[in-house]
Structure formats: structure tokens, C-alpha cells
Amino acid sequence: MIQVEHLTKRYGSRLAVEDLSFTVSDGCIYGLLGPNGAGKSTTMNILTGYLSPTAGTVRVDGHDILAEPKAAKAAIGYLPELPPLYTDMTVREYLLFAAELKGVKSRAARLEQLGQVSARAGLHGVEERLIRNLSKGYRQRVGIAAAMLGAPKVIILDEPTVGLDPAQIIEIRTLIRDLGKTHTVILSSHILSEVQSVCDRVLILSHGRLAAQGTPEELAAQLTARGGVRGTALGSAEAVLAAAQGVAGVAEVHITGEADGEVSFTAATAPGADCRAALSAALAAAGCPVTSLSAENLSLEDVFLQLTEDAQAPQPEAGAEQDAAPGPDAAPAPDDKAEVPVAPPPDDTAGPDAAPAAQDTAPAAQKEG
Amino acid sequence: MLAILKRETKSYYNGMVGYVAGAVLAAFVGLYSTVYNLLSASPDFASVLYSTAIILLFVLPALSMRSFAEERRAGTDQLLLTSPVGIPSIVLGKYLAQVAVFALALLPACVLPLLLTLFGQVSLVSAYAALLAFFLLGAACLAVGTWLSAMTENQILAYLSTFAVLLVSYMMNSIQTLFTSGSTLAFIVFAVALLVAAVLVGVLCKSLPAGSAVFAAGAAALVALFRLRPAWLLSAFNAALGALALFEPFNSFVGGMFSVQGIVYYLSVIALFLFLTGQTLEKRRWS
């Protein structure tokens, strides 16, 4: 559907996008993920023909965006970061204008499309209102509705949920999932849980380069994961340390806290190894009853952080900052990294085997390092 | 193109700009017509337009200033440029909307010569020829303004720069008279223009030799011309200044002469500046 080859964009001396190549195939929701300034918007602006690449080619539905801009642009509906709305028009006027702009010839056809897209975007009841007077969430919907006009095959959304409140974010995500059933969707975001919950495939951009791509699960698996176990046990810090270090497969143990005779610790293990049973037995044998123990799997966020920060500062040690958000807290709230609730380690009442399962489904399970 | 034309025209009348432009033009045409035609009992409608021409300096930049500057500031140019519509259609749509608003503002002026026929003999041909020239003059001013609007995202800057350019071009006749003697000044001006051109070539081609070569060749020709045929240099300079006098061809219409040359001149100015507007938009995508 969209083939991007060796795309490079240079602003003066700054490289915004460097040698980017990827292919977007039909019928999936793609997530373009990256920290701010990674080149997401630039890439999208090039895909849609708003900017021209310094080098490289973009083919949309077989049409080169530079050689056949009209055919290529007709296949794309685009919602830029800032919805391009004329605030002095009503929603209806704007959508009719956008439809005409996208080459919907007859007025009857335009009205028909207007009805379709406003129903899908949930715009009923606001059609006669001035865009100036709409809330940000509705403006975003108008922008998405406009992107759907003219029956494009691909819909490109640049940070569609930025600046919205949690309820609106959920609504927009539902809308995007719905769009994914009929269109190929590419959306960009710097919010992980969003991409994880909405997208079928993820492209991670870092410093203008493609750092990784794949399904969210593939990405997590692709990384040479360093497994980890966190737990609490009764006893002294020294005893716990000594007992845990003696277990085969445990590479490193850190004591993260000690209070009321209960010691919290984390243990780094070899990739793929599950040392929980051995660890539990060893600690019990050393007279330190285990009160909780859970394995940590890498979430997409870990992959993301590792990939995008690799080139930068050295990784913080696995340790005090580790925390896992349990399932309920990881509901589709707008969880920027800073907003992830710092939750206590899960209780062991659910049994040691339940914990990793809960974490697999927790989109916001987070570990730094 | 039609969609953009319709939307733009409508948006001029959604706000105040369209009405204000119409009101101001109607007021001044009416005022001068009252003074020249009614009070002094003259059938010469063209002189009314001649006096109104200076009002264009204030009104037209207000029409053209927002065309691309505002679009860019609000980010709505992203909708236009990512739609399956070519840049020429966008430029033409936005430009024709301004022309339409200007034409509507001129409607009252179109009625006046007919009214005057009630009171005596009026040369309708010369009146409407002058009106046509006035319209083309305004259209040319709007093309200049559209281009300047495409260069910035600040409407005020677009207004001021358009006003300044039109003012200089309005005064070009008197500026021209300052340079009737002495080809040294012409030589210096051409040399400076050459230097600018050479620097531009050097920067655009990213090669110092290219720029230097252009400058060397140009300077040699200029010096030779200055030595051998200084009079040519002076007349070339005057011709160049004359070409910048946007209001001059209109004045010949006012004098009662129908000048095809003048019409071709205005159409060329419009085409040139709309082309430059398209190039400016195109260039922005690449930088």
C-alpha cells in the first residue's frame, strides 16, 4: 500500500529523518512510535505530500508521491497534528468543502459522504455549529471525519489523541479501531499504551531512524530480554542476599528496601529462565519465608525505552525504580510515563503463577532498565 | 479550484473584510464622483478612478494579506496541500476569490457612468475602458499581495510589505524623474543588482565559482557598456524602473487612450506573480 524507500529529510544541517525504509500493507493499523522530535510528523508530512523528501521515494498505492501527486494524495486521508480546520465555517460547510476538495464531484455524493463520515465520527448534533465553538475532542473528530472523505484507502493520523481528556481519548481510540476495519490506518504517538492497545503493527522511530518494527508482541520478544524477578521475603537483608545469590541462574540480586523485617529485592536472571521456584525454595531453606514473588516480562515500553535511549545515557540500573502496575491500574488511561501509578508489588495471594499472567495483559507494565 | 474559490469568497464575507473593502471603495468613488462629476459638472468618469487609485494602496493589501499567510499560520494549508489538488489550482482559487471580492466592490462604480448619462452626454466607452484598466490594475496589485502573503505567515507583515511595494510602484514615476541624468548612478544600481544576482546564483548552486563567474561576466559586460554606450545604460535603467510603475498604464487609460499594451502588461504582471506564488509554496515543501 505504502512503500517508503531510503527516505531522508534534511532541515538545513539537521537530519530529521534518515534513510527510513518500510512498507505498510493493507488492512492493518500501524503505529509510528517515537519520542518527541524523532521524526514522526516529518515522516507523515512526507507520506502525505505536504513536505518533499531530501532523498528517497514514497509510493502510495503504486503512485510516486512526487511523480503522480494527485493519484497518491487521493489515496490518503490525513489528519495533521493540528487539525486543519477553518474555524469560521460550520462543521457541515467544512466537511462539504473538504469533500469537494478531495474530488467528490456531485453535490448529492458529497451529502451522502457527509452523512456517512459524520455518523462514523459521531458528529451528529454538532453539524450546524461553528468549528470555532467546538471542544478539542470534537475538533479532532471533525478532522478525522474530513480525513475519511473521498474514500481514501489509507488514513494517516498524527498524534490523534494529544491534548484530549481521558474520556475523549477512549472515544477516539474506539473510533480508530473502527476505522481499522475498513481502512489501512497509520497513526503516530509518543504514548505507548495507545499504540499497544490500538495498533496491529508498530514502527519505532528514534532520531529519524527506524529503530524496530513488528507486532507489539514480536517487538517485546525480539529484544534480548534480561529476565527479572521481584519479591519480598521475611528475614534480614544479608540472609536474603546470600540465599538468593546462591540460586543457579540468578545473575544479580539487589535489595530495594527493608522494613519491619520484610526485605524487598529484585533478581536479574538469564534470558528466558524462570528461577522463581528455585528462588522460593532457597529462601525458605535459608529461613526467609517468601511473601511475594513475581516474574517481570518486558513490556513494549521497555523495548521502546531501550531502543530509543540506547544511543543516549547509560541505562539506569535495574533497581529501586522498578515497579509493576497491576492490571486494573493499567486501564486505558492516558499514561504518559510519568503518570503511571507507582503501585506496590502484587500480593502473593494469587499465587506465583498468576502474577506473570496478570502482567502479560497489563499494557502499562513498566520497568526501567 | 472551484471549491477553494467558493470557500474563500464566502470567508471574505463571513468576516468584515469583504464588506469594508466594498464600503471604502464605494465611498471614495462616490465622493470623487460627487466632487468631479456632479459639483463641477464634468462628464469625465475616468478622472474619478484616477483619484481613487491611491485608495487601492490601502484596500487591496487588506484583501490579499490573509490569503496564504493566515492559511499557513492556522495550519490549514496542510488540508489544501495534501488534497488531490495541484498547487496551480490552489493559487488560482485563492487569487480569483480576491479578484471576485474586488470586482463586487467595484459594482457601484460600474453604475455611476450610466447614472451620469441622465444628466448629459458621457463617453461610456472611455469610462468603461478606464474601469477595465482600473480593475486590471487592482487585480495586478492583488497578485503582488498574494505573492507577498505566501512569503510569510504574519498577516500584518504581508499587509505592510504589500503596501510598501505598491507605494513605491505608485511613486515610481516621480522616482524615475530623479534619474534622468548621469549614467554613473545607473551603473552603480546595475552593479548592485548584479552582485545580488551573483550571490543568489552562488548560494542556490552552492558553488562559489558559479557565483563568481556570473559576477565576472556581468561586470565585464556592464563596464564595457558603461565605457562605450553610457546612454544605453541609462535608458535601460529607465526602462527597468518604468516596468515597475504598476499604475502608469492605467494613467494612459485615464487620458482617454485604450492601450492594448497596458492590458498585456497587467496580465503579464498577474501571471508572473501568481507563478512566483506557486513557486514560493513549492519551495517551502523542499526547505
Model pLDDT for residues A199-234, shown as the tens digit of each residue: 899 898 888 888 888 887 777 666 545 567 778 888
b/e per residue B208-242 (b: at least 16 CB within 10 A): eeebeebbeebeeebeebbeeeeeebbeebeeebe
* Judgement on whether residues B153 and B265 belong to the same structural domain of the protein: yes
Question: Per-residue DSSP letters for A187-205?
Answer: EEES-HHHHHHH-SEEEEE
Q: For chain B, how many structural domains are there in total?
A: 2
* Judgement on whether residues B107 and B149 belong to the same structural domain of the protein: yes
pLDDT band at A270 (very low <50, low <70, confident <90, very high): low
Eight-class DSSP state of B39: I
| Residue A72, C-alpha cell as written in the block | 497518491
Instruction: Average the pLDDT over each of A250-264, A279-293, B91-105 and give the range with the smallest value.
Output: A250-264
Domain ranges of chain A: 2-221, 226-361
Closest CB to B285 among A52, A73, A89: A52
Residue B49: the pLDDT is: 92
Range of the domain at B92: 2-170+246-286
* Judgement on whether residues B268 and B140 belong to the same structural domain of the protein: yes
Smallest CA-to-CA distance from A339 within A366, A302, A319 is with A366
Residue A264: the pLDDT is: 85
* Judgement on whether residues B256 and B218 belong to the same structural domain of the protein: no
* Judgement on whether residues B207 and B89 belong to the same structural domain of the protein: no
The CATH class that applies to domain A2-221 reads alpha beta
**Segment A252-270 mean pLDDT:** 80
* Judgement on whether residues B105 and B194 belong to the same structural domain of the protein: no
- Searching chain B, which residue's CA lies closest to the CA of residue A11? B287
pLDDT at position A360 over 60: no
**Among B residues 195-254, those touching chain A with beta carbons less than 8 Å apart:** none
Cα–Cα separations (whole angstroms), residue A174 to A66, A149, A171, B283: 34, 19, 5, 39
| Residue A123, C-alpha cell as written in the block | 458528529
* Judgement on whether residues B91 and B148 belong to the same structural domain of the protein: yes
Eight-class DSSP state of A133: G
**Contact at CB, A52 and B78, closer than 8 angstroms:** no
pTM of whole model > 0.90?
no
Q: Is residue B14 within 8 angstroms of chain A, CB to CB?
A: yes
Q: Are A364 and A193 in contact (CB under 8 A)?
A: yes
Rounded CA separation A344/A326 (Å): 9
Q: Are B86 and B168 in contact (CB under 8 A)?
A: no
Closest CB to B82 among A48, A82, A87: A48
* Cβ neighbours around A215 below 10 Å, total: 14
* Judgement on whether residues B279 and B158 belong to the same structural domain of the protein: yes
Cβ neighbors of A278 (< 8 A, separation 6 or more) are A247, A248, A249
Query: Which pLDDT tens digit goes with each residue over A115-159?
Result: 999 998 888 889 999 999 999 889 999 999 999 998 899 999 999
Q: Is residue B80 within 8 angstroms of chain A, CB to CB?
A: yes
Chain A residues inside the 8 Å CB shell of B287: 11
Q: Are B281 and B91 in contact (CB under 8 A)?
A: yes
**Contact at CB, A101 and B76, closer than 8 angstroms:** no
Eight-class DSSP state of A159: S
* Judgement on whether residues B193 and B212 belong to the same structural domain of the protein: yes
* Judgement on whether residues B96 and B212 belong to the same structural domain of the protein: no
pLDDT at position A366 over 60: no
Chain A residues inside the 8 Å CB shell of B75: 80, 82, 84
Closest CB to B82 among A50, A87, A103: A50
CATH topology of domain A226-361: Alpha-Beta Plaits (3.30.70)
**Contact at CB, B76 and A84, closer than 8 angstroms:** yes
